[in-house]
Structure 1
Amino acid sequence: MKVAIFGLGYVGFTAMCCIAKEGHEVIGFDISEKKVNQINRGVSPITEPGVDELLKEGLKAGSISAHTEIKHHLEDCDIAIVCVGTPSAPDGAHNMTYIAEVTRQIAAAIGKNRTSPLTVVYRSTIRPGTVEGLIAPILASELGSAFERSVELVYNPEFLRESSAVQDYFDPPKIVIGTVDGKPSARMDLLNKNLKAPTFYVHLGESEITKFVDNTWHALKVAYANEVGRICMQLGLSAKKVHEIFVSDTKLNISPYYMRPGGAFGGSCLPKDVRAMQFIAADCGAHTHLVDSLLRSNEAHKYRLFEHSTRGLKPGAAILLVGLAFKAHTDDLRESPNIDLARGLLREGYKLSVFDPAIDANKLVGANLGYAYTQIPTLAQLLVSKEVAEGTAYDRVIIANDTYRKLDIGKYDDIINLNALS
């Protein structure tokens, strides 16, 4: 294929060299004449292991060239990849100036007489909704009625790390391709045919947010590790040894289990130990702002789940809450977020029933008993059997934990699953 790349910085230039290595013809565009001249002379504009050799190979094979102006170069291109910068604006949002300008230039260069659509791929980091809300309207305005037959829009985030970008290109952790309808793109499949990685075809919005989710998570990990490190330093402990112990646990600490969007955290351990960690950090002067935010974030999530659970439903409606304990198949109600949800539903005037076969109000003891009845004094009257749950017409069923597997859920019309948000 013939591939055009707009923006020859770290991402664009690396992509140019790697795509040429795959046997495609690549033409690059950048506003910097100095950079373009460097590339055409075989001098890499960036310092990155492996790119110098790939650039020289591409130039020798005649598969790489760089330009400052588009002119006629897009006429026989199959794919155009946009890698221009999206720097921070003063308010923290991304500055879309370069995206808008290069999109306008591409639209003007495509023309209205293409026999097959140009696959226009964006790799610049952009907020969800940008392709449909900014890019598509610019293209449609320029191309008019020819827009849909002239352009195939794709968002394809990159996952290249500086100093290992070439290796990451050929051995990516994943491939995410967003299209208008969420279906595969034949040209993207051809471009990536030699790359072995989990591949996700999704709608544009899910692909656009992927990079934000990844990078925020990486920042969160670093910040959390450093907060733990500060606590260890203040207490005279070995942060290195604590880290070694932590990362050895791939069953819980490094796993997808706790990373699934769903219910708030609760139970007898997490809230209690987060509070204790906050106290320890404050007491030793470690200043752990991230740890300090966890309980506030959890409370905000509880409220959001309550809003989600009751949307479009007026007080007085009959609701079945499936699962009251913080974890299915246990009767531990201590600091269960589902208790908070049940209290909110009762407070707002909903007719609430609770199905959780692991809970017997007459068998609760100790702190579990005390917590349950101080939070929901009418608990015994709210609990219903499987027969009652399946034989009653409810306006809505709210799934709060995996207890729903004990019910014939298919008989209910209005179900909201908080256990795993979709």
Structure 2
Amino acid sequence: MKISILGTGYVGAVTGACFVEIGNDVVFVDIDPAKLDMIRTGRSPIFEPGLDELLKKNLDRISATTDTGEAIRETDATFICVGTPSNLDGSIDLQYIEAASQTIGGELREKEGWHTVVMKSTVVSGTTTGIVRRRLEEASGKEAFRDFGLASNPEFLKEGSALTDVFSPDRIVIGAEDPRSRKVLETLYATFDCPKLVTAIPVAEMIKYVSNAFLATKISFANEIGNLCKTMGLDTAEVFAGVGLDARINPAFFRSGIGFGGSCFPKDVRALIAQALAAGVPPKILTSVVAVNEDQPLRLVTLLKKHLPDLKGKRIGLLGLAFKPDTDDIRESRAIPITEELLKEGASVIAYDPLAMESFGRLFPGISYAASAEDLVQVVDAVLLTTEWKEFETLDYTGKLVIDGRRVPKAAVGSIYEGVCW
């Protein structure tokens, strides 16, 4: 199959590279020539383990262009993979979705034969069959399901393990309302041995949001229980080890700490809240999920002040700036509110992360950055563990005050140690 990928951010780069790997020809489309130049030379425009190797391996079936028309003329299906950032009220900003739909529609006006447009970006339920369909029809002059079809194929990618998530998925969700578009996606995923659910497009869109919202809920629930366990001298990990043995519950994501970040969970929960409010359905549980998550990282500073009541002038080290290990992504990183709070308290912040210091430095140019984790530990008055990079498990924390937000067992050896929920 010949596929065009509109947008070469995280979802687009990973999706396109994996589609090539399973035997398809892929045309990457973006307005940024620099990203396309990287793809043409087998380099990923985003960091994801294994992605460069996948692109290099399959360069003979990859092309990249800024010309959307050329891409659509040469392909059977177009996957929309553009960004959906948050508005101030938590709803998603659809400007890039609308622009992409308008552009695709204009190119479909000149294209002969059937073309399937697949929504891969995360959009709230009703977006594809509503505003996307209208923009496509207005720009193309064609009615949907006559000359082109619409589908939804939500992604369930975890940064740091995205290739595994594509090639060994828990499930594949196909939202389609015409048989030809359904057939395109079923053919594309024919070799995948996993549950495949075919639904109406709005159902597929809602599945994505509810999946992320439920996982975020499990994290905030674990943190709220963890905070209680902390006051009682109980280890929250032991509690949830027992809870997770119940087959109805499942232990995944019951890991207490300083909360969730990244480009998906915070944004998607807020978008679902905004949609619920617009529908007149007060989202009490989801609102609490966000509230717990916003408070949780600040507990690290509260614990620190138990030992150092006055932080003014103290050298406080942050180990970990990315929102999770194996990524350079700092979006909604829990290190951000912690850094802001430390600076308010007058602390001198020194930070280290294997991949994310450049990005974090653009956000916080006024703090110091260590050359290595070892250097940081040696010079600070206290260490705050904010991302669970594996290299932090081998450090010598002897004699240091350590406040651990991610459960790094080695950090408790020989140190003055506090865990946020244990």
Task: Report TM bin, short chain.
Answer: 0.5 to 0.7
Preserved CA contact (<8 Å) 2:115 2:148: yes
Whether 1:111 aligns to 2:93 is no
List per-residue Cα deviations over 1:331-379 (Å, max 9, x = no partner). xxxxxxxxxxxxxxxxxxxxxxxxxxxxxxxxxxxxxxxxxxxxxxxxx
CA distance in 2, matches of 1:53, 1:157: 24
Give the one of 76, 90, 93 matched to 2:91. 93
Shift of 1:291: 11
CA distance in 2, matches of 1:111, 1:245: 59
**TM-aligned CA deviation for residue 211 of structure 1:** 1.1
Distance 1:16 1:245, change over 3 A: same
Distance in 1 of aligned mates of 2:286 and 2:31: 44
Structure 2 equivalent of residue 141 of structure 1 = 138
Mapping 1:16-415, distance limit 5 Å:
16-59=16-59, 62-115=60-113, 117-145=114-142, 147-180=144-177, 185-250=182-247, 252-254=248-250
Question: What SS does structure 1 have at the residue aligned with 2:58?
Answer: helix
Distance 1:183 1:150, change over 3 A: closer
Structure-2 change in CA distance of 1:66 and 1:237 (3 Å): same
Distance 2:231 2:179 in 1: 50
Structure 1 runs (4+) greater than 3 angstroms displaced: 145-148, 181-184, 289-294
Q: Which amino acid aligns with 1:111?
A: R
Question: 2:213 touches 2:286 (CA, 8 Å); kept in 1?
Answer: no
Computed over aligned residues only, the root mean square deviation of the Cα atoms, in angstroms, reads 2.3
Contact 2:82 2:96 (C-alpha < 8 Å) held by counterparts: yes
Deviation at 1:142, TM superposition (A): 1.8
Counterpart of 1:88 in 2: which secondary structure? coil
How many residues are matched?
257
Q: Aligned to 1:94, what secondary structure does the other structure show?
A: coil
Residue type of the alignment partner of 2:65? H
Q: Give yes or no for contact 2:82–2:97 (8 Å, CA) kept in 1.
A: yes
The residue type paired with residue 38 of structure 2 is Q
For residue 69 of structure 1, report the CA deviation from its aligned partner: 2.2
Aligned equivalent of 2:4: 4
Q: Distance in 1 between matches of 2:45 and 2:81?
A: 15
Deviations 1:89-120 (A, max 9, x none): 111110000000011111111234512x1111
SS state at 1:74 partner: helix
Q: Where does residue 267 of structure 1 map in the other structure?
A: none
Structure 1 counterpart of 2:212, which letter? N
8 Å Cα contact 1:178-1:205 kept in structure 2: yes
Counterpart residue identity of residue 10, structure 2: Y
Question: 2:109, 2:142 within 8 Å by CA — same for their partners in 1?
Answer: no
Q: Secondary structure at the match of 1:36?
A: helix
TM-score, scaled to structure 2 = 0.58
Cα distance 1:237–1:290, how it changes in 2: closer, same or farther (>3 A)? Answer: farther
The change in CA–CA distance for 1:215 and 1:291 in structure 2 (over 3 A counts) is closer
Distance across 2 between alignment mates of 1:111 and 1:184: 18
Deviation at 1:147, TM superposition (A): 4.4
Q: Which secondary structure state, in structure 2, belongs to the residue aligned with residue 26 of structure 1?
A: strand
**For residue 214 of structure 1, what is the amino acid of its counterpart?**
S
Partner deviation per Cα, 1:271-310 (whole Å, 9 max, x = no partner): xxxxxxxxxxxxxxxxxx969979xxxxxxxxxxxxxxxx
What is the CA–CA distance in structure 1 between the aligned matches of 2:238 and 2:140, rounded to whole Å?
61
Q: Tell me, which stretches of 5 or more residues in structure 2 are unaligned?
A: 252-283, 290-422
Query: Which stretch of the first structure deviates more once superposed, 50-59 or 184-193?
Result: 184-193
Structure of larger gyration radius: 1
Unaligned runs of 5+ in 1: 256-288, 295-422
Write the distance in 1 (CA, Å) between the matches of 2:180 and 2:148: 15
From the superposition, tell whether residues 76 and 41 of structure 1 become closer, same or farther in structure 2 (CA, over 3 Å). closer
Instruction: Give yes or no for contact 1:112–1:146 (8 Å, CA) kept in 2.
Output: no
Q: Does 1 or 2 have the higher relative contact order (CA < 8 Å, sep 6+)?
A: 2
SS in 2 for 1:177: strand
Residue aligned with 1:149, SS: coil
Structure 2 counterpart of 1:102, which letter?
A
**How far has the Cα of 1:76 moved from its partner?**
3.0
Cα distance 1:188–1:290, how it changes in 2: closer, same or farther (>3 A)?
A: closer
Q: Aligned residue for 1:322?
A: none
The verdict on how the C-alpha distance between 1:53 and 1:203 changes in structure 2, with shifts beyond 3 A counting, is same
CA 1:247 to 1:185, structure 2 compared with 1: closer, same or farther past 3 Å? Answer: same
Report the TM-score, using the length of structure 1 for normalisation.
Answer: 0.58
Residues in 2 aligned to 1:19 and 1:210: alpha-carbon distance in whole angstroms: 22
Q: Is the 8 A contact 1:224 1:290 kept in 2?
A: no
Give 1:145 shift: 3.9
* Structure 1 residue identity aligned to 2:250: I
| 1:5 shift after superposition | 0.2
